[in-house]
Amino acid sequence: MIEKYKKEAASDVVYNLEYNSERQRLIIPEYGRHLQKLIDQATAIEDDETRNKAAKYIIQVMGSLNPHLRDVPDFQHKLWDQLFIMSDFKLNVESPYPIPSRDVLQLKPDALQYPQNFPKYRFYGNNIKYMIDVANKWEEGEMKNALVLVIANHMKKSFLSWNKDTVKDDVIFEHLYELSGGKINLLQSTEELLNTTDLMRTNKRVSNKTTPGGQPKIQSNKNNNKGGKKPFQKNNNQK
């Protein structure tokens, strides 16, 4: 008679417990430990044909976790790259895509060259200075005058976002003259910039559930009674 259940000693059960702190670190934790064990088993297979079949099977399992992207060619390339990465680049199988290397994976991106400009009027921003430099290179004409006027209006808007009070156009013209190195001179110009209210105007959206006063909006029966049905009215004469 075959023994169906075998009683184990409590000490053996505790001894065979496996804690996460004692397990091997997962390279890509999103796939879980079971898939990592499958990859480790496939890496240890000695027969090339069997190992290739196991790798293709693992790719199918990885793709089943994202079925909506399983048949996308670029996604297949990503799965194969992750397969080699999770095997610690020890898996020797035939891949339909170039096999990544550890050196490429450990490459660090180049440091970004952040602008180190410290303008005198920081509330205008660096883009205004770039626009002014571009305007200085343009030839005199209507296009340049229009660009200068747009820059001046944007400078006024930026100034008002920093200082909520009104600002005179002469102040903007003086700053524009200074930032352009004296090449753009509107100090004696008769041009007028946009009003403060036009520049600082915002679109206030009113909720369709409440009125501006905060009271709930009562919908009329005309809109609710579709199809010509009369609203229900209680008959006080009924007993």
Q: What is the 3-state secondary structure (H, E, C) of 166-189?
A: CCCHHHHHHHHHHHCCCCCCCCCC
d(CA 50, CA 62): 18
* Confidence (pLDDT) at 70: 66
Cα dist from 56 to 79, 80, 101, 179, whole Å = 10, 9, 20, 64
Alpha helices in 120-204 (DSSP H): 126-137, 142-162, 169-179, 196-199
CA angle 218, 219, 224 (to 5 degrees): 150
pLDDT in tens, the chain (239 residues): 455 656 667 666 666 677 777 788 888 888 888 899 999 999 999 999 999 999 999 998 998 887 777 667 788 888 999 999 999 999 999 998 998 888 888 888 888 877 666 677 888 888 888 888 899 888 888 898 899 999 988 888 888 887 777 788 888 889 888 888 888 888 888 888 888 777 766 433 434 444 444 454 444 444 444 555 555 555 555 54
d(CA 40, CA 88): 9
* Confidence (pLDDT) at 125: 80
3-state class (DSSP) for residue 235: coil
Sign of the torsion formed by the C-alpha atoms of 199, 200, 205 and 211: negative
* Confidence (pLDDT) at 202: 46
d(CA 187, CA 134): 20
Residues in the chain: 239
Query: By C-alpha distance, which of 81, 83, 86 is closest to 58?
Result: 83
